[in-house]
Every structure is written in structure tokens, then in C-alpha cells.
Amino acid sequence: MKLKIVGVLLLTLLLTSALGMAATDFLSVERTYLQGNAKVLIFQPSPEGGVKLLKQGHLSGLVTLRTESKKWREVGTTGNLHTVPTPLAIYFTKDGKIGVKSIQSRKPLELKGMFPIEEVAEPSTKPGLRLPITARLKYKLRSLLGTSSCPWGYEELNARYCIIENWEYLKDSYYADSKTFTEWIPFMGLKVRTGGYKEIRNISVSWGIQLTTSTRAMWSLNVDGIPIIDFGSSYSGSTLKVSYAPQQEIVTENGYLDRYLNLPLKYVVVVYNIPVYDKWRKEYASIPIAGVYPLEIMMSGEYTVSESDLNMGHLLTDYLSSSHFPTINLGTENKTVKTNSAGSCQNIVFEFQGSSETTFYSTPLGGSAANWLWSKLPVVGALSITFSYSSTSNSATTYSIDIERGAPNEVYYILMLKRNLELTNSNNVEAAMYFTTIDDGQDSLPPCIGNFCPNSHDANTER
């Protein structure tokens, strides 16, 4: 009798365990509908690092994926604003184009080519492959029959290109990798660079950012130097509101000033180096792709920052702790302003985001993440960490700067950073970057913006 009871208990435990594993597996399964037909590689970064290949092949219609999303949710249990990185589909169409898009739950994905392969492929060495015996026999037979001019490990895409047939044939992680970073990121910044008779003595600012669950994470991607973005998931968690609006004017140091409003951010950076073969040139090539996705804003609540908080922590600093001031290579908006007879100029910069249609906001990728990225893919261009929110959301950003005490009736040069990006549905958008430089134009080598090189005498000087 006792043996029967023990047996029943063991059977119950086994069934419970099996059902638990089945439920866990079910929670990891996602479905997407692919419109069109292409050679598709679907990846997702893993929480422990590296990249998981979810699916590959010539795919169309309803596709089932066993994702890493449940693992991300388990490691990302927090009250802060957080989200999970959506899987990425990298695909090749018959007309010789590549596309990169985020797979969003319950949203069909159109396999429409974005860039011609010849525009984004870089010459590379022959990749090392681990070909199983069955694949070797298949390629040997194919070469004997003369049915393909692709090298071993590759398959035909069209008259010009072959693409890697099976991603798992590749030997090492050079071709795909990811790493998660946690650090303070500058979300807003200001540089004042003036001196002599054009010294600005006082500045006033009003900065603020409010992020809610209506904020959406964006995949910021770079395909061999071409910057694109695509929507990820909305955030879960608690609202964050940070404001910096000193009641008193901020005094510069002999006309120089640096201020940065920073937030602690957790984000993941991924790299892919997709092997292709160019039959016309008879050379191996690869397509370098990098991406960044903001996972968590690692603080919540409401914070009002004043000048007395400067460098008391990382929230407000007069130095960049983990990045570099964005460069004009990202895109710019420039203008000249002239102070009045009292030496002031109001609203030299004023932006309020949140009242327009879909709004995009970026901050440049820098620090340890940029160093890791460039060590993996030196040819990849600049990346930025991007967020989005709509006109109906409670998320908003305000960024205002005034000159209070400068030189009377003098011209100053304002450089505000914008970044032109391409949405994966081919719409061009302008992403705001809240970093501004105020310059007096008196340097021997004044900052040039395109063909425009200002000096202190002529605001229309060109090089």
C-alpha cells in the first residue's frame, strides 16, 4: 500500500514538473506573420550575452518562434520603466536587397527590401565554416552537376549574390554578439564657449523629461553606416520625472559652461556581420549591422534638480561621465542670434516635445558601449539610443535656454544637434538630440557647419 502511495506521489510530481515545463515553453513561444518571401535570419539578444538564432530559412506566412523574451522578463523584474528587446529579422529579397526590421507581437512584418546589397556589403575574408558531412556531400554533388556557382556553405539569392545558407555553420561569435551595459547616460547637455568682449556671464535654462509607460523603446540600427530605427515595445513600470530649472541664473566661468542632465540606463548593444558572396566580383563580403535597444530607465519617481546638486551625484554634472559630446557628424540645426542692448536674448533654444505627432528623441551612444561596438565592428557608423512617444501620451520633454547677460548687440552662434534617421517603412524622421553649443565665433578656427563658418564680424562667411 505504501509503495502504491509513493508511486502515485512520484507520478504526480513528474506530471506537475512536465506541465510546468510545458507552460514555461509556451510562455516563450511567439508568432509572427511574414508578408512576402525572403531568405530570413531571425535573431534576439540573450540576457546572458550573445545572440540566439530563433529561425532561419526561406520564410513566409505564419512563423512560430521560441524567443528569449521570457528570460528577459525574469531578469528585468523591476518597478522602473523596463521593456524586452524585440527579435530582429534580417532578410534578403530576390531583387538583391537587404532589410532589417523588428518583430513586434501581433503585427505583420512586410519582407520588403530596404537597401541594395552592393551599397552595404564590405569585402571580407572567407569565413570559417563547420560543414556536416551531409552538407559536404550536397555541395559536392551540386558543383559536379554545375547547378550553382556559390561556394560551399552558401546558397543562391539571385544572379549576383549568394548568402550564407545555415547560420549555424559559422565557427565563432564574430558574426553575431551582444552585450548589456548599465551606466549613466547624458540625456541633455549644454556647452557655452565665449570669451573676451563677447563673454556670456549668465545663462538660464529650463530642462525636463517625463517618461511613462506610453514611451516606446526603439531599435536604433546601423547598416554599414546607414542609420535606421524601428519600433520596439512600450515600457512597463513607474513614471520618471526629472526637472532642472534653477530659479537663479547660472553663472559661467569666464564665459565657459558645461551642464549635463544624466539618467541611469540599462541597454543592450548587438552586432551582426552577415556573410555574402559576390559572384560578379568573385569575392567574399559581409554586411556589418549594429543595433542598440534601451531596456530600463533605472530610477523612478519625481526629482527636482538645482545648482546645489551639481556633482553631488550623477544626475547633474558639469562633465560627461560616460560619453562624448555629440559631434556635428550626427546632423545639426544652426542659427545665429543677436542680443539686445541689455545683452540678453530669450528663447535661443526652446523645444517642447509631446504635443506633436509621433516624436523621436535620441541620445548618442558613447562610453564603454561604443568602445565594445567598435572593437567588434570598426566599420560601423555612429549609433544613438532612441525613444518614441505619441501626441496622446503623457511622456514629454522640454528644453529651453536663454542668454541673460552677454555682450550687448552682439551675434552668437547656436549649434543644436538633430539626427536624420530612416524608419524601416522608408519614412524619414528627424530625431531631436538635446545638446547645444553656444559659441562667440572668435576662435581662430571657428566651428564650421557644412559650408558655413561663422566669425565675429560676418555671420555669412563661407569657406
Rounded CA-CA distance 73/238 in Å is: 16
Rounded CA-CA distance 396/302 in Å is: 14
Question: Is the pLDDT at 383 greater than 60, yes or no?
Answer: yes
In total, the chain counts a number of residues equal to 463
Share the mean pLDDT of the chain.
Answer: 84
What CA dihedral angle connects 311, 315, 317 and 322, to 10 degrees? 120
Of 84-88, 214-218, 336-340, 379-383, give the lowest mean pLDDT range: 379-383
Between 196 and 332, the more confident residue is 196
Rounded CA-CA distance 221/293 in Å is: 9
* Per-residue pLDDT tens digits for 361-377: 888 888 888 889 988 88
Rounded CA-CA distance 106/118 in Å is: 33
Mean pLDDT of 72-80: 86
SS3 sequence of 327-345: CHHHCEEEEEEECCCCCCE
Rounded CA-CA distance 192/389 in Å is: 30
* Per-residue pLDDT tens digits for 212-237: 998 999 999 999 989 999 999 999 99
- Nearest of 177, 209, 187 to residue 386 by alpha carbon: 187
- Nearest of 444, 205, 135, 138 to residue 348 by alpha carbon: 205
Which residues make beta-bridge pairs with 361?
387, 432
Q: What is the pLDDT of residue 27?
A: 54
β-strand pairing of 301-305 with 359-364: unpaired
Report yes or no: 263 and 185 within 8 Å, Cβ to Cβ. Answer: yes
Question: Is the pLDDT at 336 greater than 60, yes or no?
Answer: yes
* Per-residue pLDDT tens digits for 121-160: 999 999 999 888 888 888 888 777 766 788 989 999 999 9
Report yes or no: 386 and 360 within 8 Å, Cβ to Cβ. Answer: yes
Q: What is the pLDDT of residue 458?
A: 38
Rounded CA-CA distance 160/98 in Å is: 14
Q: What is the pLDDT of residue 329?
A: 56
Q: What is the pLDDT of residue 364?
A: 87
The per-residue b/e assignment along 344-360, b for 16 or more CB within 10 angstroms, e otherwise, is bbeebbeeebbeeeebb
Rounded CA-CA distance 361/229 in Å is: 11
390: alpha, beta or left, given left = phi > 0 and alpha = psi -120 to 50? beta
**pLDDT grade for 331, boundaries at 50, 70 and 90:** low
Rounded CA-CA distance 40/57 in Å is: 5
Report yes or no: 184 and 322 within 8 Å, Cβ to Cβ. Answer: yes
Task: Tell me the Cα Rg of the chain.
Answer: 26
